[in-house]
Amino acid sequence: MKAISVGMLGLGTVGSGVVTIIENHQDKLMHQIGCPVKLKKILVKSLDKQRAVEISPELLTTNEDEVLNDPDIDVVIEVMGGVDNTREYLLKALKNKKHVVTANKDLMAVYGTELHTAASENGCDLFYEASVAGGIPILRSLVDGLASDRITKMMGIVNGTTNFILTKMTKQGAAYQEVLKEAQELGYAEADPTSDVEGLDAARKMTILATLGFSMKVELDDVKVTGITQITEDDLKYAKQLGYTMKLLGIARRDEEKVDVSVQPTLLPDTHPLASVNDEYNAVYVFGEAVGETMFYGPGAGSLPTATSVVSDLVGVIKNMRLGVNGRSAVTPQYPKKLKSPDEIFSKYFLRLHVYDEVGVFADITGIFSKHKVSFEKILQMPLKRKELAEIVLVTHHASLKDYEEILVELNELHSVKEIKSSYRVERGER
């Protein structure tokens, strides 16, 4: 039995996990695919760097051509990160008839269509399970397990860093900056956490999920994104008082032929399954017309969980090689992209206002909501330390995004409203 030769681009956290699994699980791999798997060459930036795994120096190279142009290498695993250079490397690998497994969500969110086309043209597989939600097999579930169903909605916690921060803020009553610092010290957040806390990382993952789940070419610019940097202890306190938990949710919804995709801080009822997903864990809730509701839960990052997804993709590639069906798994989007307009996107909303404590203020506010035919589900009103001010917290019934955005503009123009302190989507979890 000829061994399958694998080249790898990158040997960081995930790459070290891939090496560990391939070396330690050879018996399992042999049972699954009927032949040995051999790491032949690994591209690294430095040959002298200390590694998390013991590895023979002869396997390492700083020249990408030793991986991309080696005719003996069957599969290239990309775990180096980056976008533009990495795109060039993977296009070259595919052109050289090498199958590709990647964990790179940034790359797939931006260049996924181009890479799929190159893979198809060259009869190669392109798998990327590890690009979304680490060790959770969500992409494989959408493409294979739920292939016969029509997905109507996907809603999930797909960024462990922000979930860790919001969990700590909620449970400890701590401020955002304080918890962010702790997350950085523990290694959950990068020194520059912008991609995570501004929702960009989650948006890239939702782009991939929406494209696969809806069979529609959804692009990163189609995702409406709001991060968690403005969330305060008071927001979380009122959310808890009203029976909600705050999560940064990616939400992709399809109604008939139109879709909307967003990433934003969202209030969930405390009883919702996603409300109990804490710390660095990820979870994705999927609604299908036939299957109903399903939830996928697990570690969203980490060396071995993510590497497990990478090696599972590798097993899939090798099985296809043995069957002679490589390059046939990519399915072009079935539907043309049709995005909802703001008057077609509906939700409930949480709104916190500071107003002047005067006669008629509440009547002014309710008048604006009434004009747009938006009613209230919950109302709290409290005096503030400054005697001339009061705080009003509202949860609306369902309203269109168009109406709600117009309401916010009109409230800002109202002389009796000093400030809109915060505004968040409220999710009930229904289809």
Letter for the amino acid at 276?
S
Which residues have a Cβ under 8 Å from the Cβ of 276 and sit 6 or more positions away?
A: none
Sign of CA dihedral 311, 315, 318, 320: negative
CB of 309 closer than 8 Å to CB of 103: yes
Instruction: Give the domain ranges of the chain.
Output: 4-134+303-323, 138-299, 343-426
Residue whose pair of structure tokens reads 């008048």 in the numeric block: 367
- The rounded distance, in Å, linking the Cα atoms of 297 and 274 is 9
The domain over range 138-299 is classified in CATH as 3.40.50.300: no
- Closest Cα to residue 333, out of 215, 251, 185? 215
Helix (H/G/I), strand (E/B), else coil: 424:
strand
pLDDT tens digits for range 148-181? 889 999 999 999 999 999 999 999 999 999 999 9
Letter for the amino acid at 158?
V
Quick one: pLDDT at residue 294? Answer: 93
Quick one: pLDDT at residue 1? Answer: 65
How many Cα atoms sit within 13 Å of 55 on the Cβ side? 30
End-to-end CA distance of the chain: 50
- The rounded distance, in Å, linking the Cα atoms of 376 and 396 is 4
- The rounded distance, in Å, linking the Cα atoms of 94 and 100 is 7
- Closest Cα to residue 392, out of 420, 424, 358, 364? 420
CB of 252 closer than 8 Å to CB of 152: no
pLDDT tens digits for range 109-153? 999 989 999 999 999 999 999 899 878 889 888 888 888 889 999
Architecture of domain 343-426: 2-Layer Sandwich (3.30)
Quick one: pLDDT at residue 386? Answer: 77
Please check whether the two domains, 4-134+303-323 and 343-426, share a CATH topology. Answer: no
- The rounded distance, in Å, linking the Cα atoms of 307 and 136 is 11
- The rounded distance, in Å, linking the Cα atoms of 296 and 132 is 12
CATH of domain 4-134+303-323: 3.40.50.720
Q: 331-340, 342-351, 389-398: which range is least confident on average?
A: 331-340
Name the residue with higher pLDDT: 305 or 167.
167
Q: Active-site residues: which are they?
A: 205
User: Given the DSSP bridges, would you call strands 389-396 and 75-78 parallel, antiparallel or unpaired?
Assistant: unpaired
